[in-house]
Structure 1
Amino acid sequence: MACLSRHRHHHHHHHHHRAWLTSPDPDMLHHRPLSAHHRPLPHDDALPPLLRTPHPPRLRHGRHRPHPRPQFDGPDPIWDAVRQEAKREVVQFNSLCASVASIAFLVFHFNCVQAEKEPILSSFLYASILAHDCLEQALVFVLANRLQNPTLLATQLLDIFSNVVLHHKPIQRSIRLDVQAFKDRDPACLSYCSALLYMKGFHALQVYRIAHALWHQGRKVLALALQSRVSEVFGVDIHPAAKIGEGILLDHGTGVVIGETAIVGNRVSLLHGVTLGGTGKEIGDRHPKVGEGALIGASATILGNITIGEGAMIAAGSLVLKDVPPHSIAAGIPAKVICGLQEHDPSLTMKHDATKDFFTHVATNFRDEMPNG
């Protein structure tokens, strides 16, 4: 295996201001004020040596990585939060760090007993997050190491991913909106770090974005190779030609299939086992179109060139073969519209109990119609 080793050369850049894209969508990227104990990071000199701002990493053969960090036009609060979380975790994982109190304001707290059991995570967090200058560099490092195999080395994947992500502002924006979606909507995602490091739905989505860019650059064979590798590693199959918006949640991710001509709007949430598929061997435009803010429940199957309206909800386990109007709930096999929906974007609230009465009614009727004995 070709995991990337990291070295350092000495220079200081902690006075440089980290920045990102202008004009973020206020409905999709929430800048919540920090509480009193979430103060800015202290100057590097006040931190233990392991936690000071790292210097640019080199690849194994000692050559500097050729890709610069992206240059943006404004602050990057998500990357700052990721680094804060990682520094906090490293302090708790490293029993030699005596100054825990000096950075106790950082975002998330871990059980000290668990930290003692897993001290190896301190080096993992350093290599995955703290050794990088920006969110993009950290992300491509994580993805390259997760997808590597004996014939597709991590160094090769890192170069491919960096060439796309570090020069593609729409992807840089989408990464931040996606990680915010995971943090806001998935109760199992306790931090931005959790999404970046551990959530395979997030990883699969970001590799799709890279593959999608490669597809439109005419590098279709490479894009399909990445699709195949993601399906093998993460169990998520997204065709690189599909069109997927920003602020997307692939909760769990396992078993999600999105076909070639599918379109998924902004702020959509899809749970595990969702299929956006065709109806047979036809070619051309043959896959579903999902409107903004829709919520697609676990194991829902949506087939054919049909439309799921904005803000619609598809109940878990449903088979959808016809259009679903905006802001309505569809459920059943085959699915039918059972009622309207008051919420504007059910994908943001993630409330799946709206179909409870319907399924209770179906179960009761089924029981009553069964012959005795």
Structure 2
Amino acid sequence: MAKLEVVAETGTDSVWRQLRASAEAASREEPQLGSQMNAVILSHDDLAGALSFQIARKLADGEMSAMSVREVCLSAFKADATMVEAAEADLQAVAERDPAIRNLLQPFLYFKGFQALQGWRVAHWLWGQGRETLAFHFQSRISELFQLDIHPAAQLGKGLFLDHGTGIVIGETAVVGDDVSMLHNVTLGGTGAERGDRHPKIGKGVLLGAGAKVLGNIHVGDYAKVASGSVVLKDVPSGCTVAGVPARLVNCPTNAEPARTMDHTLAEVVYDFVI
């Protein structure tokens, strides 16, 4: 199957057309999956319908049927159309940043980082409606199924790429800006048992490498880069790269948009001071 060519045209309608075309092609190439393609994608009129079905078939359990989960999702999408727009931006982010992707069908059906993020968006909407118990139920199911734990009260932007997804933990008062990329085992956590505003604030376009731990109510500036395995305990200036335990500045400024380029390399010159 050919590598996906990301088209210049954007928007939910464009993503929906690409997704349907990929599902139709998959049905022809793998007839055994034809019923799945039809049920999840081809039988629906728009991205919201297909997305609600996909979330429901994943998160349904003995407490909530797939029909009940889907009703919640559709209510959320109807009340806040920006949720579907965010899902479209997340799909585009995967298409632009993941060199392994072949088409939009992959993240939509099979990538748990994308699927967990869309389930979280519904949980976050429930939290905003004061339906905290159901929001926690969604969080629990997402954690059990996908091995990602994102508190429903956290604030996450759009155009996010959660690569692999396994082990990502994002705390209650964390904020993540638009166009951020993070790999597996990233933690946006607190530093103890304190209450209140206690989690990191991640700026726009930040790249968080695998296993990075950003702890406490600190700020990582726009377009900064946190190297894999780093432990960040202090603010990171915009456009800078940090690495190590504890994290140290290793490059300022770094490349312009690290989350988009997914460039995990480090500068050869090391500035020997702790941030």
TM interval, short-chain normalised: over 0.9
Give the distance between the partners of 2:197 and 2:25, measured in 1 at CA.
48
Aligned to 1:32: 8
Give the distance between the partners of 1:268 and 1:330, measured in 2 at CA.
16
Residue 110 of structure 2, aligned match among 190, 194, 198: 198
Identity of paired residues, percent? 45
- Please tell me the residue identity of whatever aligns with 1:193: L
CA contact (8 A) 1:276 1:302 kept: yes
2:174 counterpart of 1:262: yes
Residue 89 of structure 1, aligned match among 6, 26, 39: 26
Q: How many residues align?
A: 266
Give the distance between the partners of 2:39 and 2:163, measured in 1 at CA.
26
Give the secondary-structure state (helix, strand or coil) at the position aligned to 2:130: coil
Aligned to 1:162: 74
Give the distance between the partners of 1:75 and 1:190, measured in 2 at CA.
19
2:271 counterpart of 1:341: no
TM-score by length of 1: 0.69
Aligned to 1:126: 38
| Offset of residue 171 of structure 1 | 0.6
Give the distance between the partners of 2:79 and 2:66, measured in 1 at CA.
20
Aligned to 1:189: 101
Aligned to 1:313: 225
Q: Which moved more, 1:268-277 or 1:161-170?
A: 161-170
- Please tell me the residue identity of whatever aligns with 1:247: G
Give the distance between the partners of 1:189 and 1:227, measured in 2 at CA.
27
Considering only CA atoms, is the larger Rg found in Structure 1 or Structure 2? 1
CA contact (8 A) 1:268 1:347 kept: yes
Aligned to 1:251: 163
Give the distance between the partners of 1:153 and 1:323, measured in 2 at CA.
44
Change (3 A) 1:233 1:75: closer
Give the distance between the partners of 1:253 and 1:348, measured in 2 at CA.
17
- Please tell me the residue identity of whatever aligns with 1:163: S
Give the secondary-structure state (helix, strand or coil) at the position aligned to 2:205: coil
Runs of 5+ unmatched residues, structure 2: 1-5
Residue 219 of structure 1, aligned match among 112, 118, 131: 131
- Please tell me the residue identity of whatever aligns with 1:170: T
- Please tell me the residue identity of whatever aligns with 1:84: A
- Please tell me the residue identity of whatever aligns with 1:92: E
Give the secondary-structure state (helix, strand or coil) at the position aligned to 1:285: coil
- Please tell me the residue identity of whatever aligns with 2:30: F
CA contact (8 A) 1:293 1:344 kept: no
**1:95-120 per-position Cα deviation (integer Å, ceiling 9, x unaligned):** xxxxxxxxxxxxxxxxxxxxxxxx2x
Residue 284 of structure 1, aligned match among 187, 196, 214: 196
2:53 counterpart of 1:77: no
2:240 counterpart of 1:328: yes
CA contact (8 A) 2:12 2:85 kept: no
2:273 counterpart of 1:297: no
Give the secondary-structure state (helix, strand or coil) at the position aligned to 1:255: coil
CA contact (8 A) 2:250 2:266 kept: no
Give the distance between the partners of 1:144 and 1:131, measured in 2 at CA.
15
Give the distance between the partners of 1:296 and 1:341, measured in 2 at CA.
16
- Please tell me the residue identity of whatever aligns with 1:333: V
Give the secondary-structure state (helix, strand or coil) at the position aligned to 1:276: strand
CA contact (8 A) 2:201 2:220 kept: yes
| Offset of residue 270 of structure 1 | 0.6
Runs of 5+ unmatched residues, structure 1: 1-29, 34-73, 95-118, 363-373
| Offset of residue 358 of structure 1 | 7.0
